[in-house]
Amino acid sequence: MREKSLLHMFQGTFPQLIAVLTGTIGAISDGMHYGWTAPVLPTLESNSSHIHLQERDHIWLETIYMIGGITGLPITIFAVDTIGRKGSIIISAFMALVSWILIAVADSTLFLYIARYIIGLSGDVAFVAAPMYVAEIADKKIRGFLAGIIYLMMLLGILIIYAVAPYAPFYVPSIVGSVIVIIQLITFPFMPDSPYYLISKGKDEKAKRHLQRLRGSDDVDKELKEITAAVNRQKSEKGRPQDLVLIASNRKAVIIMVILNAAQHFSSISVMLMNLHEILMSADSIYMRSQNAGILFAALMLLSATIADFVVDKFGRKYLLTISSLLTGLCLLVLAVYFTFKNCNYDISGVSWIPIVTVMVYAAVFKFGLGIIPIVMTAELFPAKTKAMGMTIADCAYVFFAWISIEIYQRLSTAYGHEVPFYIFAASCILTAVFAQLYIPETKGKTLEEIQFILKGVPFPLRSNSLRSESLSFHATLDNKDNKINSTPEKNSNEKSGV
């Protein structure tokens, strides 16, 4: 029965899968850049390095990557709405290729700084445009699975850089990353574009052709009408930045995504990825070489996220997020308690295996929900007119809280010991589980239109034309009420008549 259910879920979705794989393969390159400093900086700091790092270069090579992401926000908002999701992904791939070339030919830190800044810009565009593209081309029955693929690609990239960089010449990772990006640049331009984006630009016939390619069927009239109705309704909503706060459903989406992105990093994932070797050495865990521990850590994250990606559309977002948050918090609590006993001079030699086991369990349980659900939900919650701005804010929150979590870890672990930041991170995970249960709606099996009704607290109507027309008018009326402070009577009348 389960096999039949799985086959039914994926039936007729092969064109979507190919489009998503080619559209997200560049995330492997992004993952390699994200984990690049951990294995590469020790090589650059060695006496045999052809590039000589100064004392502050280690920190700045990590920070400039995040600065690139933050400064890329205006570019991202402009790109996804002007040249589209597909075009933005292609531009991001070109930027990633330039970054790898700069790293390969670098003979000074200046080249590395420029490359890291460019890839920060590229990653910001890609991780907004790609989830939007996936959510808008995917059938609702596998949208969660397809949305999670970009994270799997990123984790694969982290695994590759951990496995290659410590054992190969400095330029080899650049060759690997460049080949991956070139594959995307060759294949993805031939994939269908987002029907939502095409309809929003008045290209209805082209949208129909691309939707037919994605569904592998000529019978797409019903879905095309639903997409058109959704786009027309969402066009009647204002796409101003302040509407992310003034409209209740948008405000709820922003709150959910900011908190989930904060929760990801306050579960210490960036701290783990960038400081895993140092954490294990501080814990006196000698059961595995740090290079091997890094490879196993990345492999477990990839395996766990892959399993989660297959079951996210079966068990739902809330369930996986809640269980993952609780188990992640438990792992961090165990690690904090271990460091507490160690710093109190207890004899822990007999249990020095605990840190290595704990961080490996952490890798598995974090990526089973907390590490993948936010990226799945990001493209589901915002309506078309504010999706670019909303997802860009979510991406900004992701980068910002990554930096904050690293600062908290570095400062508190130096001043008070490793246990203090890990107690904070453990508490954050518990609060995330509570937040998920009380505030986050379940989006499993829902269309993007249905999700907007859920966020507004409005029952979704039956799908007859008359009822749908009435519901869209009622939906627009709710948005107008949300905006009445900033809308004139004439403008409200025009909006209602345009639905």
Q: Are 452 and 441 in contact (CB under 8 A)?
A: no
Q: What is the C-alpha to C-alpha distance for residues 449 and 381, in angstroms, rounded to an integer?
A: 10
Tokens of 114: 């420029």
Tell me what percent of the residues of the chain surpass a pLDDT of 90.
34
Can you tell me which residue has the tokens 């001079």? 345
Q: At what angle do helices 221-236 and 465-482 cross, to 10 degrees?
A: 20
Average pLDDT of the chain is 82
pLDDT tens across 146-163, in order?
877 888 899 899 999 989
pLDDT at 492: 40
CATH code of the domain made up of 245-458: 1.20.1250.20
The H or E element spanning position 63 is helix 57-71
Distances 363 to 269, 301, 350 between C-alpha atoms, Å: 9, 5, 23
Domain range list for the chain: 16-205+212-218, 245-458
Residue 464: pLDDT above 70? no
Average the pLDDT over each of 85-99, 111-125, 130-144 and give the range with the smallest value.
130-144
Of residues 108, 99, 104, the one with CA closest to residue 65: 99
Fold of 16-205+212-218: Growth Hormone; Chain: A; (1.20.1250)
Per-residue pLDDT tens for 62-85? 778 878 887 877 788 788 888 999
Tens digit of pLDDT for each residue in 352-398?
888 889 999 999 999 888 988 887 787 678 876 777 778 778 878 88
3-state secondary structure of 282: helix
| pLDDT tens sequence across 264-319 | 999 999 888 877 777 877 877 666 676 778 888 989 998 988 888 788 777 878 88
Domains 16-205+212-218 and 245-458 share a fold: yes
Q: How long, in residues, is the chain?
A: 499
User: Which residues have CB under 8 Å from 120's CB, separation 6+?
Assistant: 64, 65, 66, 67, 68, 69, 70, 71, 72
pLDDT value, residue 490? 40
Residue 259 CB coordination number (10 Å) = 20
In this structure, the number of other CB atoms found within 10 A of the CB of residue 344 comes to 10
Mean pLDDT of 338-351: 86
pLDDT of 47 higher than 90:
no
